[in-house]
Amino acid sequence: MVSGNISPRLTEQEIADGLMQSGITRTRAEEQLFRQYDYFIKEGIRKYSLSEDESFDAYSDTILSAIQKIINRSFEGRSSLKTWIFQIFHNKCVDLLRKKSTNKNSVHHTLEITDLLHLLSDSARSVVQRMMDNSDRALLGQRLKEIGDQCRKLLLFWADGYPDKEIVVLMEYKTADVVKTSRLRCMEKLRQLYKSNS
C-alpha cells in the first residue's frame, strides 16, 4: 500500500533514469532504490540466518553495486530491477556466509583494532583492515580528511554510535533515509580513495 508515503513511488524505469541524472533527481532515485527493496534485509535474516547488521551491510553493498552498474549501463533490463537486485543481494549474502565460516578469528581480532572498524560493511572493512594490517593508522586519518568534512563528520558520528535519527538533527539532514544513503556514498568514497592511492 502506498498510503502513508509522502512522495510518490517511482517506477523501476524512473529510478534507473533518475540515477543517470545528477543533483536532487539522482539523490531522490538513490533514496527510492534504497527504500524500494529494503525488505530484503528481513529476507537475509530469515533465509541466510544473518544478523540484522550483517543483512543490512549486504543490502547496502547490493544497492551501491546496483547504482554503479546502472550508471555504467551494465543493467540490461533482461529481468526486472527487483529480480536483478535480489540476485546481487543473494550473492552478497552467500559471500558473507563464506567469509564468516572461514574468517571468524580475524573478524574478532579486528574488533580490538578500532571501534570504527566493526561498524563498517564487509567490503569497506577489508580496505580498512589492510590499512590497519600495514600499521598505517595515520593514512586512515588522512583518507577520512580527504573524503570531505561532511562525510568525515557523518562517519565519525556513526562510529560513535549515534543513530540515524540523531544524525539527522546534528547534521541537518532531511530524513534518516538520506543519512543512510549519504553514509553509503561516503563509505564508497573512502573505499575508492584508498584503492586509487594504494
Is residue 148 located within the same domain as residue 73? no
Is residue 165 located within the same domain as residue 189? yes
The answer to whether residue 2 sits within a structural domain is no
Report how far residue 51's alpha carbon sits from residue 104's, in angstroms, rounded to the nearest whole number.
14
pTM: 0.54
Task: Supply 66's cell numbers.
Answer: 546496483
Is residue 92 located within the same domain as residue 165? no
Question: Can you give the pLDDT at residue 40?
Answer: 92
The answer to whether residue 6 sits within a structural domain is no
Among 53-62, 107-116, 123-132, where is mean pLDDT lowest?
107-116
pLDDT tens column, 25-81? 888 888 889 989 999 999 898 888 888 888 888 898 899 889 988 988 888 888 888
Q: What is the DSSP string of 73-88?
A: T----SS-HHHHHHHH
User: Residue 132 in contact with residue 114, Cβ under 8 Å?
Assistant: yes
